[in-house]
Structure 1
Amino acid sequence: MTATPVPPLRTPAEYTPDRIAEIRVSSVRVPLPHAISDAKVYTGRQKPLTEVAVLLVEIRSSDGCAGMGFGYSLRSGGPAQYAHACELAPALIDEDAADISRLWEKLVWLNASAGSSGLGIQTIAAFDTALWDLKARRAGLPLAKLIGAHQDSVPCYNTSGGYLNAPIEQVIEAAERSLAAGIGGIKLKVGHPDRRVDLQRVAAVRDRFGPDLPLMVDANQQWDRPRAQRMCQALEEFDLTWIEEPLPAHDVAGHATLANSVRTPIATGEMAGSSADLEKLIDHGAAGVLQPDAPRIGGVTPFLDVLAQARRARLQLAPHFVMELHLPLAATFPGQVWVEHIEWLEPLFEERIRIADGRMHLSAAPGLGLTLSEQARALTSDTRLIARPR
């Protein structure tokens, strides 16, 4: 049999840059079905959460291809992110949309006086994600396949049913609904000022669902070192999958000491504002389960760097929130990985993630596989179009 000849490669001279022609920046406010409270509310440090402020970026290139990215903020920062995005967007007009890493660096340098983490980097994340979505759509590939997937589905757990303000009966009912819907694990919020409340709630869920349920708890940074040590030791009997943020997020040494003194894995990283912050956690052995948040650290580009570091350290991975973005990214990780099920952003999109047998399943659609809904447009409070001069 004669082999089919391989067609010749295109030479660099044939490449035509696909220039960014226009960018739409929108501020969207997504209300929650009801106010929720975690330990930060019970300690008086924050108010109940009632909505998510979403920064939406849509990028269209000269060949008509489009990509969408988004970031978010909780309780404060939404208007500032939107204003900063409008400030940065003109710098991308006429750039080659394929040069994602270079464009990320360009935006970071434009943002330099605002700092290397925080609001500015979170704003850049929406542009970076939109460029990755555009690149995958142009290639006709799901984002996970463009990067290189290790699996087509990822274990998932639910958080939104386990908040502290919900009576334990409601928490158990929500867990039953989640498990019936195919979700594989349950996370409870802890950190109540009365430690007995925490232990009673965890015991009630473990008793109801038995020893085989993957069960996690999250203290939302509300314990000091002595209390964290006592609570982590007291929680050992429940065979938890992990204990999340037992200490303030930037107490790297404290997390490392705790991780080395208890059997249950310690999870942290969601509050990291850059890949460098996460690298510090890795280097100090402060997390058995790393929890990067792509919108908080600058988007897909730095997230992939974090994945490489976590792989080398042989850590488990459990990205924070934004399952619509973290599912395809988590599927590219070769180690143990979980995706957090929080349905708050579902009103923005026409599609729903398929969940079955304890796992979230990747979409076969190109890019992120997401289409903005009419409700997303209705929830938009401000929008601006930045385009080439005509």
Structure 2
Amino acid sequence: MTASFLDLTSATETSSVNESHFAALRRGEASTDSISSVKLSLVSLPLAAPISDAKVLTGRQKPLLDIAFLFAEIRTEAGFEGVGYSYSKRAGGPGQYVHAKEIAEELLGEDPNDIQRLWTKLVWAGASVGRSGLSTQAVAAIDIALWDLKAKRAGLPLAKLLGAHRDSVQCYNTSGGYLSMSIDEVLDNTRASVERGIGGIKIKVGQPDTKIDLKRVQAIREALGDEFPMMVDANQQWNRSTAIRMGRALEDYGLTWIEEPLDAYDSEGHADLARELATPIATGEMLTSVAEHWDLIRNRSVDFMQPDAPRVGGITPFLKIMSLGEQARIRMAPHFAMEIHLHLAAAYEIDPWVEHFEWLEPLFNEKLEISGGRMIVPNRPGLGFSLSEQAREWALETETFGEAQD
């Protein structure tokens, strides 16, 4: 069939619009730099001893022996460099690394300042495997590196680039309170954390025998005193009836929050607990998208939301979660990744907490300062950390895309 004049005109106009659209996406006069190389590394961080929480005691997972990290190091023609990371526990780390390698070349020649556009570009490059979960966790390492680079270009700590509400954040320790540790070990770790200046202590619960949980909570509360901030974490292993019974039994201990009492995706159950219990409810660390966090927020399922920047896809989506949380007046306590979350928590309007894990310290040349129960925002540009030689020795695989500069 012969095309009509109107059909040909429409096709010509559509082609012109498409060309104009793609021209708008190309680098223009406002671009100030371009990405010259992307270096990816798969790093395995060994733990000093196997770690178990309630997921191990219920047979759903094996003890944690090491943590896989995906590091991204991005360099530009102007000589700036940014470092970011994502991670996975027990499984998924190699998958993140492979996916990042598949999309890394999409960055070459791009202006590193256009972070939101680059995040969208990378997510769509791998959209066949979804826009949450492992695929966006691979993007997270790159996104975080771009934010690190942008803050370094500005000569500012990331918290200051975003606009800080405070120069230090309340911090609590988790790594000393696992179920694989005896009560005496947890007490020793608690004393060491308090002496170091940590401002709160979280211990794991979720034993098949709930009386053991209560005995451990009682011992730690007595050691800390009535006023010292204390949290417990059930790692999603209670059902709704157990959670309400345990929540009521724990009311007398003055806990700052009960964490992950139910399955991470049970927003309705968490909302019921938040209404029924005086103790605040915290959850969110296992969620991998802005939409999943919005479900928690709009249903009033949490008193403390606990997003994880590497898990949700980086700092770019994390900032959207922060905006939603501030609008709903929900407090925040980001999960793990303290080098990243310290800056984000400092930029959150409502006084937050940040989680301390000394496990991560060997990965970096710099250490975060803790004083008076708070973690201090470093005055170094960007995130304020650089990879240690030990981290590079732990690298299982490394690959560079583009031309690395000396």
Which letter maps to 2:310? P
- d(CA) in 2 for partners of 1:277 and 1:364? 33
Q: CA RMSD in A?
A: 1.4
- d(CA) in 1 for partners of 2:29 and 2:37? 24
- d(CA) in 2 for partners of 1:71 and 1:136? 19
* Helix, strand or coil at the partner of 1:154: strand
Query: Are the aligned partners of 2:41 and 2:399 in contact in 1 as well (CA < 8 Å)?
Result: yes
- d(CA) in 1 for partners of 2:147 and 2:56? 36
Whether 1:336 and 2:319 are equivalent positions in the alignment is no
Which letter maps to 1:284? N
Query: Which residue among 42, 61, 68 is the counterpart of 1:27?
Result: 42
Which letter maps to 1:181? R
Structure 1 residue ranges without an equivalent (≥5): 1-11
Whether 1:50 and 2:54 are equivalent positions in the alignment is no
Give the structure-2-normalised TM-score.
0.92
What's the CA shift string for 1:186-211, capped at 9, x where partnerless? 00100000000000000111112211
Query: Are the aligned partners of 2:31 and 2:111 in contact in 1 as well (CA < 8 Å)?
Result: no
1:268 is matched with 283
1:349 is matched with 364
Query: Which residue among 109, 115, 129 is the counterpart of 1:100?
Result: 115
Q: How does 1:98-247 map to 2 (within 5 A)?
A: 98-247=113-262
Which letter maps to 2:66? E
* Helix, strand or coil at the partner of 1:260: helix
Q: How does 1:60-71 map to 2 (within 5 A)?
A: 60-71=75-86
* Helix, strand or coil at the partner of 1:233: helix
Deviation at 1:389, TM superposition (A): 11
Deviation at 1:344, TM superposition (A): 1.6
Deviation at 1:17, TM superposition (A): 2.9
- d(CA) in 2 for partners of 1:252 and 1:82? 31
Deviation at 1:33, TM superposition (A): 1.1
Query: Are the aligned partners of 1:93 and 1:388 in contact in 2 as well (CA < 8 Å)?
Result: no
Identity %: 55
Structure 2 residue ranges without an equivalent (≥5): 1-26
Runs of 4+ in 1 over 6 A off after TM superposition: none
Which letter maps to 1:125? A
Deviation at 1:336, TM superposition (A): 2.1
Q: Over alpha carbons, which structure has the higher Rg?
A: 2
- d(CA) in 1 for partners of 2:103 and 2:204? 37
1:299 is matched with 314
- d(CA) in 2 for partners of 1:261 and 1:342? 31
Query: Are the aligned partners of 2:203 and 2:232 in contact in 1 as well (CA < 8 Å)?
Result: yes
What's the CA shift string for 1:58-94, capped at 9, x where partnerless? 0001101000010000000111111111101000100
- d(CA) in 1 for partners of 2:147 and 2:31? 18
Q: How many residues align?
A: 379
- d(CA) in 2 for partners of 1:28 and 1:73? 11
